[in-house]
Chain A
Amino acid sequence: MDPLSEYIRGITRDNPIFGLVLGLCPTLAVTTSVENAIGMSAGTAFVLICSNIFVSALRKQIPSAVRLPIFIIIIATFVSIVKMIMQAYFPPMYAALGVFIPLIVVNCIIIGRAEAYANKNNVFYSFIDGLGISTGFLLVLMLIGGIRELLGTGQIVTFDYTLITLPINPSVTTMILPPGAFLTIGSLMAIVNYQKEKKRAKGG
């Protein structure tokens, strides 16, 4: 195991959305804009990395019969920290993300990684794994948020910088409403499946 390939694995093969298919709720709900996507991933990344480190450091002490409740308590503690920090320093972001910041507690990605990875590996690799998975999550959320914002409003505005403006404004309002989320993730998932099939056909 070398750290770099462990890091890359979180973005490609174990990508939380397209590989493991975990944490769909925040992926669909907060990706109405790139800005929200970044805020959500930042919160999730902090909780994921901290809980991975913590669980991994305590993995010899945690009795396996009650490990899940202990994981949830650890995660809930870090989520409370994130919630208070966001409420205090980024109130507009907190208002936009709403109930999904406290709901990081029940994001399957975090407890899934605690159970599947941090519980079995040392602190350093758990940290790398958390970093890789968070990066994968960030990239997917930004991709979905970008597609929806661009088609829905005609431009991408992130933290007061206009990144891209389309020459004609398509303004398909549906894209920033709930159906747009299902359409985007369904299409992206179909493309990923198609690529996987092509690769498999080539390999054997």
Chain B
Amino acid sequence: MVEKELFAIFMDGIFIKNFLLIQFLGLCSFVGVTKDVKSAAGMSGAVVFVMAMASTASYLIYTYVLVPADMQFLDLISFIVVIAALVQLVEFVVRKNIPSLYRSLGIYLPLITTNCAVLGAVLLNENAGYNFIQSVVFGVSAGLGYTVVMLMMAGIRERSTFVNVPSAIRGLPQAFFIALMLSMAFVNYFWVIPI
């Protein structure tokens, strides 16, 4: 069991091990849903919720079901089932209460199931051997780190829509070049500060 302060885990999740820019988890939604700030915010909200719930639920299942039954090799399958069920729940809630957000998220909402960020958070928790509170803190902070970067990216992309660039660079390459600059900032600032 790794003894690590909760604050250090929190900062780890948001900045030092930022999911999008440092670990490359969840890039499909990163380039797919960041065309405007509103859908990026909605997507991030859904991901934070699913990530926090998934960290909680998968910790409980791993510790109280799989380990006593000596079936740790089933971890992947049980985690993905838990995540799929949670995403289904979020989808029901969003469709019922915020239909406009449901339409703008489109295919990406059911795809949170196959978003590597969520399963990645769960697996990193398992690998690091975090206890219950640490797992939940890491899940929430990873979600917040995802949100920060999604909002920055969406803001920059929204403003760069009318920038005159060669047509070959418009679209995805442009998004990657913006990500390059954000990533450089994150690597250079947060890797050198020992927290």
Identify the A interface with B (CB < 8 A).
21-22, 24-26, 28-29, 69, 72-73, 76-77, 79-80, 83-84, 98-99, 102-103, 105-108, 111, 174, 177-179, 181-183, 185-187, 189-191, 193-194, 197
Chain A residues with CB below 8 A from B167, complex form? 193, 197
Known: A103-B123, A189-B173, A190-B169. 6 other contacts (CB 8 A): A25-B25, A73-B81, A83-B76, A102-B123, A178-B186, A193-B172
CB-contact partner of B114 in A83, A102, A106, under 8 A: A106
B interface, over-half SS: helix
A interface footprint on B147-186 (CB within 8 Å = 1, 0 otherwise) = 0000000000000000000011101111111011001101
Chain A residues with CB below 8 A from B183, complex form? 178-179, 182
Complex alpha-carbon distance, A106 and B84, angstroms: 11
**Is there a chain A Cβ closer than 8 Å to B40's Cβ?**
no
Identify the B interface with A (CB < 8 A).
21-28, 31, 73-74, 76-77, 80-81, 84, 111, 113-116, 119-120, 123-124, 127, 167-169, 171-177, 179-180, 183-184, 186-187
**Chain B, residue nearest A193 (CB):** B168
Chain A residues with CB below 8 A from B123, complex form? 99, 102-103
Chain A residues with CB below 8 A from B120, complex form? 99, 103
B62 to chain A, nearest CB (A): 13
Complex alpha-carbon distance, A182 and B185, angstroms: 13
A interface, over-half SS: helix
Sample of 29 A–B contacts (CB below 8 Å)? A21-B31, A24-B28, A25-B25, A25-B26, A25-B28, A25-B116, A26-B24, A28-B27, A29-B24, A69-B81, A73-B81, A76-B80, A80-B77, A102-B123, A103-B120, A105-B119, A106-B114, A107-B116, A111-B114, A178-B21, A178-B183, A178-B186, A178-B187, A181-B24, A182-B183, A186-B172, A189-B172, A191-B168, A193-B172
Chain A residues with CB below 8 A from B31, complex form? 21, 24
Chain B residues with CB below 8 A from A29, complex form? 23-25
**Chain B, residue nearest A69 (CB):** B84
* Among all A-B residue pairs, the 8 with the closest Cβ atoms: A186-B176, A29-B24, A182-B180, A194-B168, A190-B173, A24-B27, A193-B168, A106-B114
**Chain A, residue nearest B24 (CB):** A29
- CB of A106 within 8 A of CB of B80, answer yes
- CB of B77 within 8 A of CB of A25, answer no
Chain B residues with CB below 8 A from A108, complex form? 28, 111, 114
- Given A24-B31, A106-B115, decide whether A186 and B173 contact each other with a Cβ distance below 8 A: yes
Complex alpha-carbon distance, A102 and B74, angstroms: 12
Counting chain A CB atoms within 10 Å of each CB, the highest count among B21, B23, B31, B176 belongs to B176
